[in-house]
Structure 1
Amino acid sequence: MEKASVNITLRKDGRYMGKFCIGYDDNGKALYQYVYGRTYNEAESKVVIGQQVASHFLSSRYITVSKVYAEWLNAVVNRVKESTLANYKAKFEKHILPVFGDIPCADLSAGRINEYINQKLADGLSASYVRDIITVFKAMLSYAQDEYGFKLSLKNVTLPKIEKKQIARISDTEQKRLIDYLKANMSLTAFGILLSLCMGLRIGELCGLKWKDVDFQHKILHIRRTVQRITSTNGNRKTKIVISVPKSATSFRDIAIPDALMEYFRMFRDKADLYILSCSDKPVEPRTMQYRYRKILKAAEIENHNFHKLRHTFATNCAEHGFDVKTLSAVLGHSSVNLTLNRYVHPDVVYQRRMINSVCKRL
């Protein structure tokens, strides 16, 4: 006995039996679930409910990583910064989708992901970058489980261990040589380099400074924006400059301006809405500043290094001169004191010896 798409038959014992498909085996053969009722309507009702449950299960069971990725992007687009969204897209489209795109999310396992992690490390990616890829991947999979009701056991996914590399600060000799060169060849670029060395600014924050961010009366610098070049999110793979709020809530901060720098602020002072480094309504972008910095390092006969080393040197200098870590953390715009300690504060052996000797003199 059959009605519409519901398959129901009357058994010899007087009960009605219905069946519906709940999936397929490895050979593609349909698998059925059977239900029973005292009446036709009762059996039919059970079949309809079962079909709905099975349909949801099957759609969840076979939904691919690519499909969920597209849905997940739409879910997060309005709650993350454009630069963060571009970062997500870059990691998925370059690293995750080529490997997992056609695989059903429910088929993923810790073993499969661990194999992927090991391959990425073998390909030469850093442990830190691989961890970032997996973190974003797991965020998408968490969304998939909430949305489609399946469960993945990923507790055995082993993230690669990051080896902490101690970044040496700029030596005292090279710091003096750099400062002497900057003062003898003062320009907006030289001024910007001094700001990062003496106030610990990130390169994007430096490029985002406007003259209205300078409180000349109270000698305070307000950090309110950052400049980044990111991959465009419209799919054309081009890059663009983005001016946005700093990377975190604690990155919004006010920093006391050293007296030694106030003369340069007054020297270059311009209209409030203009960017400090460019003195125009358009900012200098970070990679341009990095390029200019390298030219200055070469001219000053200092070994080439990344612009960010200025910030690291500032933090280490502060720690070595007794700057309390909590205050330093606030100046740097860190979310926690531990971040400051672990990332930037690495007193060298010379400093350690000086501190130990000062203690021993009291004995």
Structure 2
Amino acid sequence: MIEKRDNGYRVRVYHRSRYVASRSFRRKMDAEAWERRQKDALAAGTWVPPDDAAATVAEWIEIWKGTKSDSKPGTRAHRAGMIRNHVLPAFGRRPLSSIPPSEVESWAKKLAVEKSASTARHALSVIRGVYRLAVRDGVVHRNPAEGIKLPKMGRNEPRPLTHAELWRLAKTVPSDRDRVMVLVMGYSGMRWGEVSALRKRSVMPRGRVRLVEGYSDVGGKLHLGTLKDHEARTVVLPAVVADELRAWSSRYRDDQDLLFPTGNGKPLRNQNWRRSVLTPSLAAAKIKPITPHNLRDTAASLAIDAGASVVAVARMLGHEDAATTLRHYASLFPDDLGDVAKRMNAKARTARDGRTARPKAA
């Protein structure tokens, strides 16, 4: 019902004899239009309280962030950057109910062109997560970020070293600490944050190294945290490398001592080590420029060359599943489809001719 007031019109909406909402307008035509929209939404079962629907994206981002409190510092910092640099400037002040899917899609695809496909996907995931929460709570009835397809992210091709290059690099680096680090990374596939967090207690018998924690650099500060379930693992080193690691770890007395610290006992930083040790050593050894992460590529490549299955490589690298390993390292696995076809053909010919394969002699 619409009531005439001194300064305009007051709309009161009822549903099944119960009051549900009200709003004031200066013009009668605006009051009638709003009342009609509320009644249509109530009849269709899509109505939400007007005050909730008017909540801004920025307000709901804060609510959504509260559900992500268990994430690691690096993840939180990355998400905060996406929100600050991309999501809030585009949608922060807008009511949740005012953003159509076409606008979100246009924004995300523009990000993919002007920034990168990776940036677009991460920013879109924020909007999608915020709206999923709002839909779940009944504040809005659709998620404008669902079903949006973006260009595939470009894949960085692995840049592994050979066995010979890896050992040449190990012989060129300036210290025993760096030599052992290079060999451990090149044969285990540890991430930088994992190898920089290794302690004396990490080294186990029979060439095994237990990984349970890692460092992350967030805003220039190092944070030590436990690894995710699929990242926590035990890696096994070749005996020749395990011997060098065991000899190096014997220099330390306390199980809590870092194995590869700086001169003052602090954790090594990726960029510092790359600049002062890796880059000049590569040049001296006449090896193509690589990053510390490419030593992880090296471990994957050498394991595959030795005949390791994709599942074994995934476990070694701490990937969540074998599909992740294939996305990153498919080009390193041998293309043996020809051999597979030959073996299948032999079985097919046997079956076609009605013969059975002879059992092998004992």
TM-score (norm 2): 0.75
Deviation digits for residues 104-129 of structure 1, max 9, x if unmatched? 11112210111101221231x22122
**Change in CA separation of 1:305 and 1:20 when aligned onto 2, cut-off 3 Å:** closer
Report the CA distance shift for 1:90/1:196 in structure 2 as closer, same or farther (over 3 A).
same
- Contact (CA 8 Å) 2:216, 2:222: kept in 1 or not? yes
Quote the offset at 1:92 in angstroms.
Answer: 0.3
Aligned-pair identity in percent equals 17
Contact 1:214 1:221 in 2 (8 A): yes
Aligned to 2:91: 100
**CA deviation digits over 1:255-312, x for unaligned, max 9?**
1122111232233221321111117653112322333322322222222122211112
Tell me if structure 1 keeps the 8 A contact 2:208–2:235.
yes
1:27-75 per-residue CA deviation (whole Å, 9 max, x = no partner) reads 99435759xxxxxxxxxxxxxxx9xxxx971222211111111222233
The 5 A counterparts of 1:1-363 are 21=22, 29-31=30-32, 33=35, 57-77=49-69, 79-123=70-114, 125-154=115-144, 157-165=147-155, 167-172=157-162, 175-183=163-171, 185=173, 186-215=175-204, 217-231=205-219, 239-246=220-227, 248-269=228-249, 270-271=252-253, 272-278=255-261, 282-291=266-275, 292-347=277-332, 352=335
- TM-superposition CA deviations, 1:184-206 (whole Å, max 9, x none): 54521222121111111111111
Matched residue count = 314
- Partners of 1:26 and 1:336 in 2: CA distance: 61
Is contact 2:187–2:299 with CA below 8 Å preserved after alignment? yes
Q: Structure 1 residues 58, 321: closer, same or farther in 2, change over 3 A?
A: same
Q: Deviations over 1:126-159 (max 9, x none)?
A: 2122112211221122122233521124366423
Distance 1:181 1:86, change over 3 A: closer
Q: Where do 5+ consecutive residues of structure 2 fail to align?
A: 4-9, 12-16, 37-41, 347-362
Amino acid at match of 2:65: L
Amino acid at match of 2:273: M
What's the offset of the Cα at 1:22?
5.0
> Following the alignment from structure 2 to structure 1, what is the Cα–Cα distance between the partners of residues 95 and 19?
30
RMSD, aligned CA: 3.5
TM-score by length of 1: 0.75
Is the contact between residue 314 and residue 321 of structure 2 (CA under 8 Å) also seen in structure 1?
A: yes
C-alpha separation in 2, matches of 1:95 and 1:303: 36
Query: In structure 1, how many angstroms separate the alpha carbons of the residues matched to 2:20 and 2:184?
Result: 75
> Which amino acid letter does the alignment assign opposite residue 214 of structure 2?
T
Give 2:351's aligned residue.
Answer: none
Instruction: Return 5+ residue gaps in structure 1 as ranges.
Output: 9-15, 35-49, 232-238
